[in-house]
Every structure is written in C-alpha cells, then in structure tokens.
Amino acid sequence: MLKELLKPEIQELIEHRKWTDLKITLSDWPAPEIADLLLDLEKSDRVLVFRALPRDISSEVFSYLAYEQRDSLLFDLTDDETKALLTDLSPDDRTDVLEELPAKVTKRLLMLLSPDDLKEARDLLGYPETSIGREMTPDFVAIRKDWTVDDAIAHIRLFGKDSETINRIYVVDDDGMLLDDILLRYIILAQKDELVEHLMDYNVISISAFDDQEKAVRIMEKYDISVLPVVDSEGHLVGIVTFDDIMDISQEENTEDFHKISAINPVESGYLYASIWRLCVKRFPWLFLLMFASSLTSGLISLYNNVIQSFIALTFFLPMLIGTAGNTGTQSATLIVRALAIDEVQLKDWFKVFMKELFIGLILGAVLGSFTYLRGYLQGHHEFNLALIIGVSMTLLVLWANLLGALLPLLLKRLKLDPAVVSSPFIATLIDATGILIYFHVAMFVLE
C-alpha cells in the first residue's frame, strides 16, 4: 500500500514540522489511503496531519475513518475547524457522524451548522434510526418533463456540481413528485430541441424514506442500479442513496448477522477498535444464557438415570448423536436465514420449506441412521437392541433438527424478530435438550 512505502517520508515531515510539504505530498493521495495513514499515527500526530490536509480532502478522509477516530478528532479540533469540517461533509456522512455521538456532543455540533445545514441535518435525523432516510443525501439534480433537452443540460451544468452523482437525472412535476429517472447519456445523446418527456418510460424504481436500510440493499442488488431515489409517504422526491452508501450498509448488516449467528451482541465498531471490556460485555449475556440452558440439559440426563444404569452403553453414543443433530440444525438454519435475508424465501413459503426440509431430513436421517446402526451393532458386540436404539434415534434426531433449524427462523420472522438470533450455539443448545428426550424415549420404548 501507498502508506507503507511513503510512511517514513511522512514521519520525517511531521518530525520537522514541514506542514506545507506534507500538505503537497498528501494532496495526491487517495482519501482511503490517507485515512489508513492517520490510523497508524500517534494521536497527537494524527490531529496535526489532519489539520494540514486541504479542506476539500479532509472532509472526504474524515468519512473513511471509524467512529472512534471521528470522535477523537472532533474532540481535539477547535469549533471553527469542526464547523468547516461538518459544512464540507456530505449530508449523509454528516448524519452518520451526528447519530453516533453522545446527545450533548451532537447538540453542540448542531449549533455550529449554518441554518440551511441545520435544517437538513435535523430532517435526516428525524427519520427512524435504521431507515434509509438516515443514509440518503438531498443533493440531487431534478428536471421537468416539459423542458427541452437543451434546458435540461443547462440545468445540470448549473446544479450538477453540488449533486452527489449525475449518472441518473430525476424527473419531477411542479410539486416535486417523482415521475421517472433518465440516464445522463440518454439526455446528452438526444437532440437539443427534443422534450424530456419523450425520453421517459415511467418505469422508475424508488424506496420510501421510512423503509429499512436492508430493503434498499436488496432493491439495488435486484435491479443492479448504482443510485436509488428516496421518496416520502406521498411520493415526493426527497433524496437519493448511492452505491457507496449501500456498500457500507450491506457490510454493517452482514457483520451484525455474523455476530448474531455466533451468539454475540453486535459490535458496532471494528474488532481492533473495541475495548476488551466492550467485547466481554457483548459476549457475556449469550454465554450466560447458553450455560444456563446447558445446565438444564444435564438435568434432563439425570432424569433417565435408571435407563442409563440398565444399559450403560447408551452414554457412549450420546455425544455423536447430539453433535450430528446440532450440526444438521445449524446447516438448515443458516440456509434459511440467508434465504430470508436476500428475499429468496418469504413467510408465505413456509409450507414449501417444511416439505422440502422434511424430505431432506428423511434422506439424511436414513443414511446417517443406517451408518450408526451398523456402527452400534459392531461396536456393541452385536447387541441388536443397542444398534436399533442408535439407528432409530439418529434418524429421528436428524429429521427433527433439520425441521427445527428451517422453521424456527421463519417463526421468528413472523414474530418480527431477527432470524439471525437463531445462532449456531442457540440451535445446538436447543437440540441438545430435545435430542436427549428423543434418544432416551426411543431407548425406553425399545428396551420395554
């Protein structure tokens, strides 16, 4: 990376306080590289280097920093420097900064904004926390359908420099209602006197500002578009969401799901930037809950003490049966959770899922059950009852775990809960308890 090659040179400029040379050197660097460089510097040097950056570059670099680094920089900057920084940030990046800070700090920063920026920030912060309205930018170019192409191009030239992107130009009526979007190249290639309306197909894809951010990710992936218009409840165009914003949202959502699947409360900041105590706090609640659930499993085993004493060999195969069932349930849950996340499976498809996983469970159970029957027969000195108990239990456990892992995420979705909480440890612990009941009931039935 660039910072690895030139970091010694940068360190030398910092040590000799050659801020002008540093400013010239960093002016040619990409913003993400400068952000990486800042993270490698000592805190005192980090602030000095940030202050040396050109104003137009510093705001872009700031948007690439993690939340902790943003907070630290804002704390060390003067009010004038902070005001200039917030003014230069794009509205969506400014909203990201303000919503992550403590309420008192946010209130102080809001007072530094100009009246127009303050109104804009309050409007964006007024949307629900996980809504796409928080991530949109109100900087876009809109034209009218009764304009000529020449009028539209003149308007784009005048206001396009302040827009987040001009790949797509939006057509609105006099009340600001979204009518259509047109690729810029179609406008450029059209005749100057042609009406904008002749370029329209009235087939625009949009999203409500109150919709969840994940919905925006799915829409942009489905229709393969780099910009998504955002409308209010009445259909007025209020902003746009761009591909880079969606990538950030997608990464955050995927990270959150990974954490939940592993029974960890989501860690908002990166792993390296989170404190040891914070990581412990995020992991402890689930570990305590799962430990308590495991103790119930131990209690269930004690209930079947008489069965175990009469046929001690049953305990030898218990880890294999429970472990296989847990893995089966985890596989099934992972497939369904992912299918729900990308809208491949809907709640209405529950019966299709049930029937599909029923047959899958029967096939997997029959194959694994046959194998365990044979193993039990050979390892148990040709004891038929032992082999039968193990083989039947494996078949039933795999079938049960497969159905449980597939249907539980759908049930949670129906209850408006996050299916990702059906994590591997949670599924495994639940199957441990129910698997013991199945195993020993089969044993009691066969032995009696």
Residue where the block lists tokens 């040709």: 382
The CA angle 293-294-300, to the nearest 5 degrees, is: 95
- Its pTM stands at 0.56
CATH 1.10.357.20 boundaries in the chain: 276-447
Please classify residue 201 by burial: count the beta carbons closer than 10 Å to its beta carbon, then call 0-12 exposed, 13-18 middle and 19+ buried. Answer: exposed
pLDDT at 282: 67
Residues in the chain: 448
Domain with CATH 3.10.580.10 in the chain: 142-251
Domain 2-132 has CATH 1.10.3720.10: no
Structure confidence at residue 261 (pLDDT): 56
Q: Where in the chain is the domain with CATH 1.25.60.10?
A: 2-132
Residue by residue, what is the 3-state secondary structure of the chain?
Answer: CHHHHHHHHHHHHHHCCCHHHHHHHHCCCCHHHHHHHHHHCCHHHHHHHHHHCCHHHHHHHHHHCCHHHHHHHHHHCCHHHHHHHHHHCCHHHHHHHHHHCCHHHHHHHHCCCCHHHHHHHHHHHCCCCCEHHHCCECCCCEECCCCEHHHHHHHHHHHHHHCCCCCEEEEECCCCEEEEEEEHHHHHHCCCCCEHHHHCCCCCCCEECCCEHHHHHHHHHHHCCCEEEEECCCCEEEEEEEHHHHHHHHHHHHHHHHHHHCCCCCCCCCCCCCCHHHHHHHHHHHHHHHHHHHHHHHHHHHHCHHHHHHCCCHHHHHHHHHHHHHHHHHHHHHHHHHHHHCCCCCHHHHHHHHHHHHHHHHHHHHHHHHHHHHHHHHHCCCCHHHHHHHHHHHHHHHHHHHHHHHHHHHHHHHCCCCHHHCCHHHHHHHHHHHHHHHHHHHHHHHHC
| One CATH from 3.30.70.60, 2.40.50.100, 3.40.710.10, 1.10.357.20 for 276-447 | 1.10.357.20
- Contacts of 102-109 with CB under 8 Å at 24 or more apart are 105/71, 105/74, 109/74, 109/82
> Which are the contacts of 306, defined by CB distance < 8 A and separation ≥ 6?
none
In this predicted structure, what is the pLDDT of residue 195? Answer: 93
> What phi and psi, each to the nearest 5 degrees, are found at residue 378?
-75, -45
Q: Which residues contact 380 (CB under 8 A, 6 or more apart)?
A: 313, 386, 387
Residue identified by tokens 């990376």 is: 1
List 236's β-bridge partners, or say none: 177
Rounded distance, CA 168 to CA 180, Å? 10
Name which of 153, 157, 200 is nearest 179 in CA terms: 200
- Give the span between the Cα atoms of 223 and 313, in whole angstroms: 58
Please state which architecture CATH assigns to domain 142-251: Roll (3.10)
168-172/142-143 β-pairing: parallel
Question: Which residue from 385, 396, 381, 404 is spatially nearest to 438, judged by alpha carbons?
Answer: 396
Cα–Cα distance for residue pair 437/269, rounded to 1 Å? 42
Instruction: Locate 165 and state its tokens.
Output: 């992107």
Mean pLDDT of residues grouped by 10 in the chain (448 residues)?
58 72 76 77 73 76 73 73 75 71 66 72 75 84 92 90 84 91 92 92 90 84 86 88 75 61 53 64 66 63 62 75 86 84 83 92 92 81 79 92 90 80 71 84 80
**20: which strand partners?**
none
